[in-house]
Structure formats: structure tokens, C-alpha cells
């Protein structure tokens, strides 16, 4: 077949041109994102229970729901939070779990206990966590309009315009307040008339309806009958008849206008947003699943430009965060590293081959193989992302290996005087088995990553796409090397030896001789070194074993981390004041903090946003810094954090933390869970532990508790017997009290301009704030009688938790903290464990567990080691099949651990922590480093079969294979060097993997060149090995 194809060069060339063009076309169809699409196996349930406190929610909602969910198949963890008026439960399942089936099981379990749940609780809502729920762009609308006018402008103009952009799923508005119709009533008037808030709300709702009343026929025609009772003006609402009262023998009608003020107003303020010191409204934009983030961002900016022409002259819309720039910068950083590496690889090939046409042939195979790979990615439904691009970069170095082997063998046949076509045919044929085996060994290590990606969790699902990409790249490179390279070498870029086409240019001739002399000196030096090693085999083995042992002993000095922090376009600082602090107090502190940050970081950021009342809590706030483009930054992210961290002590009344983690399980780098049944004991121990850790562990910063001391509260202690005797029940009392204090939406109202408003009924501000008069309020029983609260309840002043977290069904207080710059989680966690065990051992009934990075590292690391073992077995199996021998593969496997010397050494020298992405690099290296051993063992075996003595075969085999081994190794290393040493923030996530490849492959190659021939001479003794037994 190969002979036929070589004699049909135009057909082969046409096929590859078509494949290349198809790949070029598919490049533009691949969605672009930072990471591959992945479905997180997380279900979140939310159950509302208005008016219920955290402890009531815990006992009546959270506990029974947790009991039901705990037996779900595939459940890995269950956490929950019982808060004022709501229960939220987070269920994390094993990757690969069918969440639709799980949700069906959850519905069945909820149905079983539905009748036992409290009457006032809503139906639990189930949601899956979607990474696309993170906004891809945030826009700030600001100007000299008031906040209500800005909100109206955002709602009426900006939001609809942006939602029309293709692939935008929705646009959320924050920072403003919706307009409402406020019905404000006096508690005194209600008391005098014997009314309550619920009665007024029900009356309004009943008298503001349009309903169908059936149909009627007349005159042969059928008419639909509708009752139209909808009000369409404030006056209509004011004139709603509420009740009739008897006074002095006369019946008087009581209208809403008699007991309440009805007017347009804004919702109660729960947060404030500022941008660069000015009041603002924010719009957060979300994309549809699988859409191209960069393309959407471009379309959004075009749409925003058009919208700005319709904004008032004093209002501007600013893009304050844009995820597409992070993606672009990260991808460009890796892409630039890849291009630099490719150029370096081509330069290395030129030095070794010193043949322009040979180098050009190999250079052509790179884009052809990559574009065929892109076609495979498109057909496989992958996105063009940071991980896939790193896989392509890694693949480039391996792509050229097969082509180098074919070209070099064709060149060898040409040097023997063979004709061009014959050299192309036989030079390729001889190497097909070798390069196929070499490709299969490399694929063998990537295959387990793809197959066991669910066991690796989030990282596995991310890097499964890299495995797929590299496998496709390797197969395409094998396809190109066997078919395209010989056709190019024999027909279009014909290879000639120096004897046929000597260099005429004296400068080029001088350079050629100089390079050849340098390579000869390297070969000569290697010959002397290998000869000495072969004469002292046991000493050589002992020396390398000693070096490996010394390297392995350095592992405890390596810092460990789950994954490096990548580039971010913004930096968020969370600020928390004492519980109960008002919006005004929080704003005052945030404003002072903002001024200090402005002074400290002048010129290091482009814009600063401030949110007062974050997460609708008046005592919390956020400061968000928008950072310049990567190439324009004067300070790195770590240095900015350090400078901001130095300002924290200036605000002792507040606690600070850096935000930015994504996902439902986001927390600190180190999390210490303190579990038990007694909430007070848990809080006391957690507070003491927090203080101790803060004092003794300087490498853990922004230490916080996830449970607050508790707000002061008034407990209404109800006498249930009296309540029953008075014709009341707990639910109706709680509902009415909640409505009196918080207000509630009774109905909606649409004005003549078709603007819709909620109609909110609430007591006057003075009545709502005067909680000491709570006992004097009344409720109506089923007979319409006024019943004072004091007749069935007493009011007690107390403090209670604002939220009660659970982990695995137990009450939990979590101490969270972030690592200081340069700190390693394994060392920090070990220090905390020792500190608490010696200084603050827990009392009986209190359990301590450590979560965060180290737990994830342990879980991920154990799975990766299992994958590494499987990969080594697969590689061994492929080599056994190739050599039809057990000893030869065993020699190569014995040399494999030597890669640890280079990996450990390069991380120690660079002072970087060893992350799980780097460990994935070690798994990949297992398949890459054996290729050099295969080449050596195969050629040494060939020489032995030809009758060469063992010592001479090992020596000559090493020397003759030195150049191709150096060529293939250096080209792979060259593609990774820019990413390993010049990654910048954009490529930081993949730097560990690149360092692993550079360190492990370079050192292992140098050792393999000596260690493998020495091992071969030990395993295949002169007197014990017959030609038949040789590999």
C-alpha cells in the first residue's frame, strides 16, 4: 500500500491539503472558553419558610430533608444552612452520576415526608449548578441621575438591548431599587378598626382581578364573558372599599384612603453600589451553555456602543469586568509560548539536520497535524480552551518525533546510495513498527486520564479533554509521518546528501563544518562517558540509585497545592463589620478603606467598584478592583494583595477576605470543620481556635468563622394551649406578625403606560421599628376577634444564630483562611494540626476535620497515582508486544523513575509548589520518557543480532542513537520552555505541567543514555543470550 501511495504523490498531497483546509475551517467553529465545558455533579435545594428562625428551620425542615437525602445513590457529601426563613442543602455526587435520575429520587423522597413538613414552608426547589451561571461581563451604569432613575434606565433601555445579543441567556440588574406602590398603614388605625395587614391585603387582591366568566350565545354569535375588575390608577387603589363599620347607629364605609397612604415608592434599600465613588447600577450578563465567550463579548460591546448613543448625555455605561479578556490573555500567553517553542524546535532541527528541505518537511508536518487535530476536537465536541491549547503545545513536540525518525532513516538510505523513491519507501517501511509502538506507548498514558476522568473529579473532567487532544494529535502525526513525509521527501522537497549537492557558499560551508564538529565532540564525549559506565556497571547503577534516593528524600521539602491561581481581570475584597451594623455604618468604613486602597495602589488599577450590603446583609460589603490588561500591569496580583493586606490592621472593627473563588463549594485554602451537637460549645471552641491560629500561624491570613455570634432578637414564647383556646394557630400568628413587621406584596398594579408595579402593604416606619411594643400588637382569630399578642405569648430578649450550618447532618462551625503569598498548604495545615492538638485539644463531643486544598490534594493525588500505575502497565504491555521479550521492557521501566530527579530538582530550584496539574504531567511523562529507551534497546538488540559483542553493541548503539534522541527530546522540551519559564500570569495555570515536562524529560534523557545501555549489559549477559532471545 505504501508503495502505491508513494507512486501517487498528487493524490496523497490533495488529501492532506483538503484535510488542512477543513481543519482551518473548523478552527473558527470551535467555541472559545477558558476551560472545557464540564457538568458539576451538584444539586442545590432551597426551601422557603417565611417567619421561621434558624433553629426552627433546622428542626422542622433541614433535619427531615437531610435524613431523606442522605441515602441517595452516589452521594459524596451533604452540607446545609438553616437561616432566617430558608433552608438550603448542597448535595455533591460522584462525577458521572445521572443527575436527572437523582432529582426524580429526591422528588419521591420529598413526597414521602411532605405531610410532615410545616404548613408555612414552600415546596423545595431543586437546582443544578451550572458554571455558565457566572457572569461573563459586568457593566456599570453611572451618571448624575438619582439611583432610581439609573435603575429605570437600565431596566427599560440597557437590559433589553443586551438581552437581544445572540447567545446571551439573561442580564441581571443590581444596585438599584424597583419602583413599587407602597400602601403604608398605621398600627393605631388598624387597631381602632379591628383590621389587620392580612385582611387589607386579601381585600385588595380580591378586588383587583380580571377573570373569565364563561361564554354566552346571542343572535347566532358566541361571546366570551370576562369580569374586568383590575385597577389602573393609584386613585383606584385608594378607593378600594376595605370594610364597613357601625357608628352611632350608622354604617360607614371605610376605604383604603381612610387608613393608609398610597403612593409610588421604591423597595426598601438593602444594598448600594458605587463605581469610582459615584452611585451606580450594575448589569451582569450571562451566556448560554456552549456559546463562544469571546464572540459574545465582541457582540455585547458593539450593542453597548449603539445603546450609549441613546443614553442621556450625562450617563455612561462602563465595562468593569470582561471574562473574555481573561480568556484572550490566557490563551494568547500560552499560544505565544507555543509559537516560540515551535520556532525553537524548528531551529533545533535545522542545527541537527543542516538540511533546509528536511527541516522544511518537518516544519510542514506541524501545522498539518495540528489542523487535523483541530478537526478531531471539533468532531469530538470540544472547545478551544487553555487546557486544549496546552495539549496542542505539548503535542507539537511529540508530533515531530515520528517525522524526524522517518526523515533520518530516509536520509540514511540516501547516504548508502539508494535512489530517492527506494530510500523513501524502505526508509519509511523499516520505521513503521517502531514509530507505531512509540506512539502507542505515549497514547497508553493519556488513555487512562480519559477513561478515569470521573475518578479525578473536576480536574479529571478538565484534563480529559487534554488527553483526547494529545491522543488525536499523536495519531494524526503518525498518519502524517507514514504517508505525507515520504511523499514530500521523494517528490516535492527531494532529499539529497552532501555528496550530491555540496554547499557552495563558503560561509555556509564553514558553519556546517562547525556545527558538525560540535556534534562530533558531543558524540565523542558521550562515547567516553558511556564506555566508562559500561566498564563500571555496578558503580554506575549504584550512583544513579543514590542520586534518585537523594532526590526522593527532598519530596517533604516540596510545597503542595491543588492547582495554581490563574490570571484574573479583577480582585475582590470582602469586608464584614460587626453584626447588626447599618448600611450607613458599613458605607462609612468601606469609604475610608476605599480611600486607603486608592492611595496605596495609585495607577495599579483601572476602576474600583464598591458594594455596600453585599448578599443583602447590611453589615457586609465588597470592594472590586478592575486590573489593567496583562501587558500594562505595573504590579502582579500577589503584590497587590500584599499591599492591600497591610491595610487591614487600620480597621480593627472589620474582618477582611479576598474573594474570587468560583462554584458552590468555594471556600478558603484551609478549612477546619468543628462539628458537634451543642451550638454554644462549638462557637466557644471555634472562637478560641480562631484566635490561637491567628496568633500562632502567620502563613494563614483572613481567618474567619462561617457562623456569627448572633443578632439580638425578641423571642415570642407562645403558650400553645391559650393559643388554641383563642381560635388561633402558630402559622397564622407567625404569618401576620411577619407581614406587620416586614410588609408583603398583596397584588400587582399596571398603570395606563403598561408599567407594572408590586403593591406592597407595610406598617409605618415608626410602628415597624418600635419592636418593644410587640406585645401590644394584635391578630384576628377565625371569628374576626382582635386578640392581643400579650394574651397568648410573652416577649423575651435573646440572641440567636443568624444561620446554622451542617456537614454530614451535624452542626458545624468552619474556620476558613487563605494562604499568605509563598505559603504551602501541606506545611500550614500540619502546623495547625500540631497547634490545636497541643494547645487546644477538643472536649468530648467535638470533632475536628480538615478540608480544603490538602483534602483535595490527597484525593486527587491517590487517583493520579493509580492512573500512573495503570499507565505504566499499559506501556509495559505495548513494549512486551513490540520486543516479544520481558527483559527488554523491564530495563526501560527501571529507567523510568529517574524522571523524578529532574521533576523534583526543577521545582526546588524554581521555588514553586508541586500541584496536581504537575502530577498529571508526571503521568504523561511516563509514556514520553520510554521512547528514548525503546530506541536504544531496539538498536542495541539489532546490533547484537548482527553479531556485535555486548559491550560494543551497547556502546555503538548509544552513540549512533544519540543524535536522533537529542533531536526528538530537545524539540519536545523547546515547545515547553517558554511556558515553563516565561508563562506570566496568563499561562500560570499550566506552568507546573510545562516545568514537569522540561525537568523530567531532560534529566531522564541524559540518564537514559547511560543507564539503559548499562542495564542492558547486565540483563543480557554475553554467555546467556542467544540471538533468538534478543529483543
pLDDT tens digits for range 108-149 = 999 999 888 887 788 898 888 766 567 888 888 888 888 888
Dmax (CA) for the chain in angstroms is: 131
Q: What is the CA radius of gyration of the chain?
A: 37
Could you tell me which CATH class the domain 355-377+384-500 is placed in? Answer: mainly alpha
CA nearest neighbour of 714 among 53, 187, 58: 53
CA nearest neighbour of 644 among 630, 627, 632: 627
Helix (H) or strand (E) holding 1021, with range, is none
**Percent of the chain, pLDDT > 90?**
12
Could you tell me which CATH class the domain 42-129 is placed in? Answer: alpha beta
**Per-residue confidence (pLDDT) for residue 543, from 0 to 100:** 92
**Percent of the chain, pLDDT > 70?**
90
Please say if the pLDDT value at position 1004 is more than 50. Answer: yes
| Digit-coded pLDDT (tens) for 408-461 | 778 777 777 788 888 888 888 877 877 888 788 888 887 887 777 777 777 777
**Per-residue confidence (pLDDT) for residue 665, from 0 to 100:** 46
Greater confidence, 420 or 814?
814
Residues of the chain with CATH 1.20.1640.10: 355-377+384-500, 523-553+885-1031
Strands 210-218 and 221-228: antiparallel
Beta-carbon contacts of 789 under 8 Å, excluding residues fewer than 6 positions away, are 716, 733, 737, 774, 775, 776, 777, 778, 779, 795
Q: Which residues pair with 803 in a beta bridge?
A: 83
Helix and strand element counts for the chain (H, E): 33, 32
What topology does CATH give the domain 133-178+269-326? Alpha-Beta Plaits (3.30.70)
* Helical H segments across 601-636, by residue range: none
Measure Cα distances from 249 to 26, 242, 252, 413, 782 in Å. Answer: 87, 19, 10, 124, 26
Cell of 402: 515520528
Highest mean pLDDT among 207-211, 558-562, 993-997: 993-997
Residues of the chain with CATH 3.30.70.1320: 133-178+269-326
**Per-residue confidence (pLDDT) for residue 1029, from 0 to 100:** 52
Residues of the chain with CATH 3.30.70.1430: 42-129
Cβ(926)–Cβ(872) below 8 Å: yes
Beta-carbon contacts of 979 under 8 Å, excluding residues fewer than 6 positions away, are 334, 337, 338, 341, 390, 393, 987, 990, 991, 994
Q: How far is CA 379 from the centre of its chain?
A: 24
Please say if the pLDDT value at position 525 is more than 70. Answer: yes
- Average confidence score pLDDT of the chain: 82
Query: 58-67, 367-376, 735-744 — which is least confidently predicted?
Result: 735-744
Greater confidence, 1025 or 681?
681
What topology does CATH give the domain 570-711+804-853? Alpha-Beta Plaits (3.30.70)
**Per-residue confidence (pLDDT) for residue 662, from 0 to 100:** 46
Burial group, residue 253, by CB count within 10 angstroms (0-12, 13-18, 19+): exposed
Cβ(394)–Cβ(974) below 8 Å: no
Mean pLDDT of 956-963: 86
**CATH number of 523-553+885-1031: 1.20.1640.10, 1.10.599.10, 1.20.120.550, 1.10.3470.10?**
1.20.1640.10
Mean pLDDT of 948-960: 88
Cβ(563)–Cβ(627) below 8 Å: no
Phi/psi-derived region of residue 6, left when phi > 0, alpha when psi is between -120 and 50, beta in every other case: alpha
> Considering the entire predicted model, what is its pTM?
0.69
Amino acid at each position: 500500500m505504501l508503495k502505491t501511495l508513494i507512486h501517487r504523490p498528487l493524490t496523497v498531497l490533495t488529501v492532506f491539503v483538503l484535510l488542512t483546509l477543513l481543519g482551518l475551517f473548523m478552527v473558527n467553529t470551535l467555541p472559545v472558553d477558558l476551560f472545557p465545558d464540564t457538568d458539576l455533579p451538584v444539586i442545590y435545594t432551597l426551601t422557603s419558610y417565611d417567619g421561621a428562625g434558624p433553629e426552627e428551620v433546622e428542626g422542622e425542615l433541614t433535619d427531615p430533608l437531610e435524613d431523606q437525602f442522605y441515602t441517595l445513590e452516589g452521594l459524596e457529601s451533604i452540607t446545609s444552612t438553616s437561616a432566617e426563613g430558608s433552608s438550603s442543602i448542597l448535595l455533591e455526587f460522584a462525577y458521572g452520576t445521572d443527575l436527572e435520575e437523582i432529582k426524580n429520587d429526591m422528588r419521591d423522597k420529598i413526597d414521602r415526608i411532605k405531610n410532615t413538613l410545616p404548613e408555612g414552608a414552600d415546596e423545595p426547589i431543586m437546582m443544578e449548578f451550572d458554571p455558565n451561571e457566572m457572569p461573563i461581563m459586568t457593566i456599570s451604569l453611572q451618571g448624575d441621575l438619582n439611583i432610581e432613575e439609573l435603575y429605570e434606565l437600565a431596566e427599560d433601555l440597557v437590559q433589553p438591548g443586551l438581552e437581544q445579543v445572540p447567545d446571551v441567556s439573561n442580564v441581571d440588574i443590581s444596585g438599584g431599587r424597583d419602583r413599587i406602590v407602597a400602601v403604608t398603614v398605621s398600627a393605631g388605625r388598624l387597631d381602632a378598626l379591628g383590621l389587620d395587614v392580612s385582611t387589607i391585603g386579601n381585600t385588595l387582591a380580591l378586588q383587583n382581578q380580571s377573570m373569565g366568566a364563561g361564554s354566552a350565545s346571542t343572535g347566532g354569535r358566541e361571546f366570551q364573558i370576562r369580569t374586568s375588575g383590575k385597577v389602573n390608577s393609584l386613585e383606584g387603589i385608594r378607593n378600594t372599599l376595605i370594610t364597613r363599620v357601625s357608628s352611632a347607629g350608622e354604617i360607614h364605609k371605610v376605604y383604603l384612603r381612610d387608613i393608609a397612604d398610597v403612593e409610588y415608592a421604591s423597595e426598601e434599600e438593602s444594598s448600594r453600589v458605587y463605581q469610582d465613588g459615584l452611585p451606580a447600577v450594575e448589569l451582569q450578563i450571562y451566556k448560554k451553555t456552549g456559546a463562544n465567550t469571546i464572540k459574545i463579548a465582541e457582540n455585547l460591546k458593539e450593542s453597548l456602543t449603539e445603546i450609549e448613543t441613546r443614553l442621556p448625555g450625562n450617563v455612561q455605561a462602563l465595562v468593569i469586568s470582561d471574562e473574555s479578556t481573561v480568556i484572550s490573555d490566557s490563551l494568547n500567553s500560552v499560544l505565544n509560548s507555543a509559537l516560540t517553542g515551535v520556532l525553537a524546535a524548528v531551529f533545533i532541527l535545522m542545527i541537527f539536520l543542516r538540511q533546509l528541505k528536511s527541516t522544511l518537511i518537518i516544519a510542514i508536518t506541524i501545522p498539518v497535524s495540528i489542523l487535523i487535530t483541530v478537526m478531531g476536537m471539533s468532531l469530538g465536541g470540544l472547545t478551544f480552551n487553555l487546557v486544549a491549547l496546552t495539549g496542542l503545545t505539548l503535542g507539537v513536540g511529540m508530533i515531530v518525533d515520528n517525522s524526524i525518525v522517518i526523515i533520518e532513516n530516509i536520509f540514511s538510505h540516501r547516504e548508502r546510495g539508494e535512489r530517492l523513491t527506494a530510500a523513501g519507501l524502505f526508509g519509511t517501511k523499516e520505521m513503521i513498527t517502531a514509530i507505531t509502538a512509540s506512539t502507542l506507548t505515549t497514547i497508553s498514558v493519556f488513555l487512562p486520564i480519559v477513561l478515569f476522568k470521573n475518578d479525578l473529579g473536576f480536574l479529571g473532567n478538565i484534563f480529559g479533554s487534554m488527553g483526547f487532544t494529545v491522543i488525536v494529535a499523536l495519531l494524526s502525526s503518525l498518519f502524517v509521518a507514514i504517508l505525507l513525509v515520504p511523499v514530500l521527501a521523494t517528490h516535492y522537497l527531494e532529499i539529497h546528501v552532501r555528496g550530491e549537492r555540496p554547499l557552495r557558499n563558503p560561509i555556509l560551508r564553514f558553519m556546517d563544518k562547525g556545527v558538525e564538529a560540535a556534534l562530533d565532540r558531543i558524540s565523542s564525549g558521550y562515547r567516553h562517558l558511556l564506555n566508562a559506565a559500561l566498564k563500571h556497571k555496578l558503580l554506575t547503577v549504584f550512583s544513579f540509585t543514590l542520586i534518585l534516593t537523594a532526590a526522593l528524600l527532598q519530596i517533604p521539602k516540596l510545597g503542595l497545592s491543588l492547582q495554581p491561581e490563574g490570571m484574573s481581570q479583577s480582585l475582590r475584597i470582602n469586608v464584614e463589620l460587626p453584626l447588626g451594623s447599618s448600611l450607613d455604618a458599613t458605607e462609612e468604613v468601606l469609604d475610608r478603606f476605599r480611600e486607603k486602597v486608592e492611595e496605596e495602589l495609585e495607577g495599579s488599577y483601572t476602576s474600583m467598584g464598591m458594594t455596600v450590603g453585599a448578599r443583602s446583609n447590611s453589615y457586609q460589603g465588597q470592594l472590586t478592583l478592575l486590573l489593567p490588561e496583562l501587558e500594562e500591569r505595573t504590579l502582579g496580583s500577589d503584590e497587590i494583595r500584599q499591599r492591600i493586606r497591610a491595610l487591614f490592621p487600620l480597621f480593627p472593627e472589620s474582618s477582611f477576605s479576598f474573594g474570587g473563588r468560583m462554584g458552590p463549594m468555594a471556600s478558603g485554602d484551609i478549612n477546619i470543620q468543628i462539628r458537634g451537637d451543642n451550638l454554644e460549645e462549638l462557637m466557644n471552641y471555634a472562637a478560641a481556635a480562631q484566635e490561637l491560629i491567628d496568633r500562632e500561624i502567620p502563613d494563614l491570613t483572613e481567618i474567619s468563622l462561617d457562623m456569627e455570634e448572633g443578632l439580638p432578637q425578641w423571642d415570642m414564647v407562645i403558650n400553645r394551649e391559650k393559643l388554641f383556646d383563642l381560635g388561633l394557630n402558630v402559622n397564622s400568628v407567625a404569618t401576620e406578625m411577619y407581614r406587620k413587621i416586614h410588609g408583603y406584596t398583596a397584588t400587582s398594579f399596571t398603570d395606563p403606560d403598561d408599567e407594572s408595579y408590586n403593591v406592597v402593604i407595610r406598617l409605618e416606619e415608626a410602628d415597624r421599628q418600635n419592636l418593644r411594643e410587640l406585645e401590644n400588637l394584635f391578630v384576628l382569630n377565625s371569628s374576626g376577634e382582635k386578640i392581643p399578642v400579650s394574651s397568648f405569648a410573652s416577649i423575651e430578649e435573646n440572641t440567636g444564630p443568624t444561620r446554622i450550618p451542617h456537614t454530614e447532618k451535624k452542626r458545624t462551625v468552619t474556620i476558613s483562611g487563605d494562604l499568605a503569598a509563598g505559603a504551602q498548604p501541606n506545611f500550614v495545615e500540619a502546623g495547625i494540626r500540631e497547634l490545636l492538638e497541643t494547645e487546644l485539644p477538643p472536649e468530648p463531643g467535638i470533632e475536628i476535620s480538615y478540608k480544603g486544598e490538602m483534602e483535595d490534594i490527597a484525593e486527587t493525588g491517590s487517583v493520579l497515582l493509580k492512573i500512573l500505575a495503570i499507565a505504566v502497565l499499559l506501556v509495559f504491555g505495548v513494549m512486551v508486544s513490540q520486543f516479544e521479550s520481558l527483559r527488554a521492557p523491564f530495563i526501560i521501566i527501571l529507567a523510568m523513575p529517574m524522571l523524578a530527579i529532574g521533576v523534583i530538582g526543577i521545582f526546588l530550584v524554581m521555588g514553586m509548589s508541586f500541584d496536581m496539574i504537575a502530577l498529571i504531567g508526571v503521568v504523561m511523562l511516563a509514556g514520553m520518557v520510554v521512547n528514548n529507551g525503546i530506541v536504544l534497546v531496539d538498536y542495541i538488540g539489532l546490533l547484537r543480532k548482527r553479531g556485535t559483542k555486548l559491550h560494543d553493541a551497547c556502546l555503538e548503539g548509544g552513540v549512533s542513537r544519540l543524535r536522533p534522541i537529542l533531536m526528538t527530546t530537545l524539540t519536545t522540551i523547546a515547545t515547553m520552555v517558554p511556558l515553563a519559564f516565561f508563562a506570566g500570569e496568563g499561562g500560570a495555570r499550566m506552568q507546573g505541567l510545562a516545568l514537569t515536562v522540561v525537568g523530567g524529560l531532560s534529566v531522564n534523557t541524559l540518564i537514559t543514555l547511560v543507564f539503559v545501555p548499562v542495564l542492558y549489559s547486565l540483563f543480557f549477559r554475553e554467555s546467556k543470550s542467544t540471538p533468538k532471545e534478543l529483543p
